[in-house]
Amino acid sequence: MKTWSSLADWRVARDALAGQSIGFVPTMGALHAGHRALLARARAGNACVVLSIFVNPTQFNDPADLAKYPRTLEADLMVAAGLVDHVIVPTPTELYPDNYSYRVTEDSLSRRLEGAHRPGHFDGVLTVVLKLLNVVQPTRAYFGEKDWQQLQLVQGMVRAMLLPVEIIACPTEREPDGLALSSRNRRLSTAARVRAGLFPRILRSAPTADAASTALKAAGFEVDYVADETGVRLGAIHVDNVRLIDNVRL
């Protein structure tokens, strides 16, 4: 497994991979078993696997949230070991030489749900994903279904921009109590972590989105939204000042 901090050096290595199928998993680090499942899927379907680790500043509308995001590169490399051939760890200056003057904007889905509560978030997500896809030039890129709205937007961007990459959706990995794996889970206190297990259970069991929202509030969560979208129920809550998102199939 080789680690590249220079995009110029990576491009030389990328040229040597011409003709091979490349599976790509973009991440912000703080890797967990859910990320490893994405990497395993990429390993099974491609000759080469590339992982990127980059805490993308443009998708954080709250500077405090960006400051709190865990940076655990050494531990991340241990999680990736055995599944990954190349790890790209670029700097913000390399990925944003324009200081974010140019960006990708979607005008419909990105304005609702997460977009309504995190202004500019999806501009940052789509912009960095487009940049990384251009840098890696993968055959396939792997995204988890936990971030359902992000997944839909990335798939739409790839179609709109005529990008020659297949976006592979991978099922959400969960803890034994049903809580979706997330880097944010490690910020929960022991008591909050136990309570958080109610989140997916209420989403799944409530008869309507409104009923799920009511039940979550009754359980003591601050609710940003619960909404039903094309066979999927999505929700975002706060517990212990930690924001969690999830979705379940209806």
Hey, which residues are catalytic here? 35
Burial of 69 (0-12, 13-18, 19+ CB in 10 A): middle
Is residue 238 within 8 A of residue 221, CB to CB? The reply is yes
Looking up tokens 């008869």, which residue turns up? 207
The C-alpha atoms of residue 179 and residue 15 are separated, in whole angstroms, by 41
Burial of 40 (0-12, 13-18, 19+ CB in 10 A): middle
Looking up tokens 């998993």, which residue turns up? 25
Neighbours of 157 (CB within 10 A): 21
Looking up tokens 């992000």, which residue turns up? 150
Q: Which residues contact 35 (CB under 8 A, 6 or more apart)?
A: 25, 27, 79
The C-alpha atoms of residue 51 and residue 138 are separated, in whole angstroms, by 11
